[in-house]
A and B are shown apart, each in its own frame.
Chain A
């Protein structure tokens, strides 16, 4: 089993799910409570990675992150380093890829909140921030857990996007899924199986934790 690749994958998944939570919380809150009519447009954009092949996402990510892409150029000027085929580039592309998995559970759990609780909080003098941290967040907690775990697991298992923007640099962009692909190409089925099995077990455990803890929040299996 390639420990280096595994650690890289875990580091990537941790970084991505943390950053995604920071971005997704305010966005999901806004999506859940806005009365803006055009919000379906934004919802569609957020859900795009669910339906697009990873190679499409990866392709556009590569174009954007590359030395001639907008992001790549800005990054190059700011930090003097390229973005494509780096860990940072991989993080950015993975964030796009896992975005719906962070946003949707949060939107669902925010939407299921009783609005009167927020009204009650306001009538008791609480501003938006206090209402959010004392009422919304504790009550939407299962949604937060689901968002973090799903975006973590989804990033851990990604392949196409990584291959497109990350390439295959040991310790920098060679994640578990790429490693498994490499082993199979080299006809090393035994070690491919070891890593694959490990990923399978990890994914199963993660999902059982999420669905065991709560089913109220977004899940393809509906309510228990």
Chain B
């Protein structure tokens, strides 16, 4: 990474926004966020329509909240009470939109240098060149956006927003639709850029892989509010809300009723969907008789063709295979064991177990693979 400017001191972005959106015919949507964003990556994760993009728009100044304030270090971008509103072009924020919004009539080079209008030609060139190199788009400089592939466009959009040395970077699903290799390499470029500057970067994604690759902090947002925050493993592997479990890709979401709590063992037993089968799950904040949702990853369930014994796993359920469906490098097996479970296994496992429709199998689930999530 070539140094193109002085490293900017780490400022804390503090966001307190409150805004209600009313569209006729739909329930009103209320965005309520009170968070601090330090330098470095913060991943915003959550189902679509949760308010992630709107939050970014508020920080950028493209949407004006009704109440609250947005401050960056000593600076105030927005303060509802003192009637302060700094125009987006004066905030020094870089923003990569989900739609990228490259200027269609300008070449790659003109797009990237658009934000450097105040610099003299020579200075501008000395800033643009290294960025074109870093993002591997130097050979595309003369092309128009319509002549670029999806990945190239995404690189140009990223280059365009970082070349201005933004003090805050907002990225709204900037790598959606790219293949894994390309995504990894662009993420590496971004991480290198960030290592040098340490500015707050808010990164919206639905992609678990991106969350793991970035990995600093993750904040889950649903219905306009922050639900959980922490390191990715804590937040995404043990979702506490149904919306987050859905977004994080938990294939099995079961409705169950608590039948017994064993506080000394730290577990409770639940009856899935009207006594179809029983599971032992970690003790959660629910009382006996209450209905809860249980989320289980398809990859966390083991399949056995004989009744296993001598296992530490506490849940062993008999069932029959309903369907076996190959999906690339994994096979999706649907097992009926009272209710339907989706299980992911490897093609090798399918062959050695000779899994097929109507095979008799046992499902093996560790207690801690079953996560209780609240309804909302």
Task: Write the residues of chain A forming the contact surface with B, with a CB cutoff of 8 angstroms.
Answer: 114, 116-117, 119-127, 130, 134-135, 138-139
Contact, CB under 8 Å: B114 / A119: no
Contact call B88/A130, Cβ cutoff below 8 A: no
- The answer to whether A125 and B118 have CB atoms under 8 Å apart is yes
Since A116-B97, A120-B101, A134-B114 are in contact, a sample of 19 more A-B pairs with Cβ atoms closer than 8 Å, ordered by chain A residue number, is A114-B101, A117-B103, A119-B62, A120-B95, A120-B97, A120-B102, A121-B103, A121-B114, A122-B61, A122-B87, A123-B62, A123-B88, A123-B89, A123-B95, A123-B161, A126-B117, A127-B89, A135-B103, A138-B105
Q: 17 A-B pairs, CB-CB below 8 angstroms?
A: A114-B99, A116-B97, A117-B103, A120-B95, A120-B102, A120-B103, A122-B88, A123-B88, A124-B164, A125-B90, A125-B164, A126-B89, A126-B117, A130-B117, A134-B114, A138-B105, A139-B105
Q: Is B60 an interface residue (CB 8 A)?
A: yes
User: Taking the nearest CB of chain A, how far is it from the CB of B48, in angstroms?
Assistant: 17
B104 interface hit (Cβ, 8 Å): yes
Chain A residues in 8 Å Cβ range of B87: 122
In the complex, are the beta carbons of A119 and B88 less than 8 A apart? yes
- Residue interface mask B97-115, A partner, CB < 8 A = 1: 1010111110000000011
B317 within 8 A of A: no
Question: Once bound together, how far apart are the Cα atoms of A123 and B57, in whole Å?
Answer: 11
Partner of A122, one of B62, B118, B160, B161: B62
B-chain residues with CB within 8 Å of residue A135 when the two chains form the complex: 103
Chain A residues with CB under 8 A of B115:
124-126
A117: which of B90, B101, B160 is its contact (CB, 8 Å)?
A: B101
- The answer to whether the Cβ of B138 comes within 8 Å of any Cβ in the partner chain is no
List the A residue with the shortest CB-CB distance to B92. Answer: A125
B94: which A residues are within 8 A, CB to CB? 123
Of chain A, the residue at the smallest CB distance from B99 is: A116
The reply to whether the CB of B140 lies closer than 8 angstroms to some CB of chain A is no
- What sequence of 0s and 1s flags, for each residue 74-91 of chain B, a beta carbon within 8 Å of any chain A beta carbon? 000000000000011110
Q: Say yes or no: is B331 at the interface (Cβ < 8 Å to chain A).
A: no
Nearest-neighbour CB distance to chain A for B227, whole angstroms, equals 28
Looking at the assembled complex, report how far the CB atom of A123 sits from the nearest CB atom of chain B, in whole angstroms: 4
Who on chain A is nearest to B61 by CB? A122
Chain A residue with Cβ nearest B93 = A123
Distance between Cα atoms of A119 and B90 in the complex (Å): 13
Q: In the docked arrangement, what's the CA distance between A130 and B102, Å?
A: 16
Q: What residues on A are CB-neighbors of B104 within 8 Å?
A: 117, 139
Q: Which residues of A contact B105 (CB under 8 A)?
A: 138-139
B145 → A minimal CB distance (Å): 11
Complex CA–CA separation, A119 to B160 (angstroms)? 14
Question: Which residues of chain A are within 8 angstroms of B88 by Cβ–Cβ distance?
Answer: 119, 122-123
Q: Which residues of B contact A114 (CB under 8 A)?
A: 99, 101
Question: Could you say which residues of chain B place their CB within 8 Å of the CB of A126?
Answer: 89, 114-115, 117
Residues of B contacting A138 with CB < 8 Å?
A: 105
**A125: which B residues are within 8 A, CB to CB?**
89-90, 92, 115, 117-118, 164
Chain B residue at smallest Cβ distance from A119: B62
State the Cβ distance, A18 to closest chain B Cβ, in Å. 24
Q: Chain A residues near B95 (CB, 8 Å)?
A: 119-120, 123
Contact B97–A119 (Cβ < 8 Å): yes
Q: Digit string of B7-47 for contact with A (CB within 8 Å is 1, else 0)? A: 00000000000000000000000000000000000000000
Q: Mark B148-161, 1 if CB is under 8 A from A, else 0.
A: 00000000000011
